[in-house]
Amino acid sequence: MRESKFPFIRSRHCAVALGAAVLMGMAAAHAAGPGAAWELVDPNYLRVCADPSNMPFTDESEEGFENKIAELAASKLERESVRYEWFPMATGFVRNTLGANRCDVIMGYAQGDELVQNTNAYYRSAYVLIYKKGGDLDGVETLQDPRLQGKRIGVVQSTPPATNMAAAGLMGNAKGYPLMVDTRHAPSVAEMMVKDLANGAIDAAAVWGPMAGYYVKNADADLIMVPLVKEEAGSRMTYRITMGVRPSDQEWKRALNRFIRDNQDEINSILLEYNVPLLDESDQPITQ
């Protein structure tokens, strides 16, 4: 929590001064659009903490789906435009961006992480299994399916699918991919996995759906992408994704919650354009 801007009030005179300051702050917040101006680094712009090379989420050319959602938010929240604080999505990301008061929101953050205060979720998705259409894996929906035995399956190290694959006896032939990649200098893990699948280096891939969907959509092969929502046991595969703000920024969180509530259909349209596998609370696909 950041320190309060106001000391403990001990006199009526100070209380009046505080009241005037609060009213001025409220007026500034109204002029800049919804959200408390005194909580923000810059109330005139939507200041976003983002990775400069992390497609399909964000990049410096502003082509990712989180870039597009940020543009929508800036418009609806009456900000002049979006301004980015770029930092690689690696250890220290939150500390060096949001935590250092260099920006005001992280556009995509898994619900429940203690490093940030979460808004309401604006989408729910899952890890997916990807394989070529028309092969002997057609119809596979879980990592426990016996047809996966002996197959070379790509999986990102230390992710939930790796746990379930180990329990199913699939790690003997698995191809592991690194959890952390500096995408400024190398392709993203999802891009590598989809390329390996298309050229036959692996038979299937288990990866986070929002990462994979964009590359599956643009692949040189006809690929099936199945959300892993029917796992018999093991690690959970579905997650709600929120926006992340500082724990102290209560009014700002409420403003973003209103934005999400009032613009969910437009947000979904952006996500679906990038082939993000969207799921409702019953694990049914959202397609429009």
Q: Which fold has domain 125-227?
A: D-Maltodextrin-Binding Protein; domain 2 (3.40.190)
pLDDT band at 20 (very low <50, low <70, confident <90, very high): very low
User: What is the number of residues in the chain?
Assistant: 288
Per-residue pLDDT reduced to its tens digit, 75-116: 999 999 999 999 998 889 999 999 999 999 999 999 987 889
Distance CA 115, CA 242 (A): 13
DSSP state of 140: -
Q: What is the mean pLDDT of residues 243-260?
A: 96
Distance CA 223, CA 249 (A): 43
pLDDT of 186 reads: 66
Span of 22-31, 137-146, 173-182 with lowest mean pLDDT: 22-31
Answer whether residue 56 shows pLDDT above 70.
yes
Distance CA 107, CA 69 (A): 8
Per-residue pLDDT reduced to its tens digit, 256-273: 999 999 999 999 999 999
pLDDT of 31 reads: 39
Per-residue pLDDT reduced to its tens digit, 114-164: 889 999 999 999 999 999 999 999 999 999 999 999 999 999 999 999 999
Q: What is the mean pLDDT of residues 276-288?
A: 95
> Which two tokens mark 147?
């047809």
> What single letter denotes the amino acid at residue 165?
M
Answer whether residue 18 shows pLDDT above 70.
no
pLDDT of 40 reads: 92
Locate the DSSP E strands across the chain. Answer: 46-50, 53-54, 58-59, 82-86, 105-110, 117-118, 123-132, 153-156, 175-177, 204-208, 223-227, 238-245
Q: Which CATH superfamily is domain 12-123+240-273 in?
A: Periplasmic binding protein-like II (3.40.190.10)
> For the whole prediction, is pTM greater than 0.95?
no
Mean pLDDT (the chain, rounded)? 87
> CA dihedral defined by 150, 151, 153, 158, rounded to 10 degrees?
-10
pLDDT of 182 reads: 65
Q: What residue segments make up the domains of the chain, in order of their start?
A: 12-123+240-273, 125-227
Q: How far is CA 104 from CA 194, 263, 286, in A?
A: 34, 20, 29
Please name which of 252, 285, 272, 280 lies closest in space to residue 73, comparing C-alpha atoms: 252
Return the number of other C-beta atoms located less than 10 Å from residue 235's C-beta. Answer: 14
pLDDT band at 26 (very low <50, low <70, confident <90, very high): very low
pLDDT of 35 reads: 61
12-123+240-273 and 125-227 have identical folds: yes
> CA dihedral defined by 40, 41, 43, 46, rounded to 10 degrees?
-100
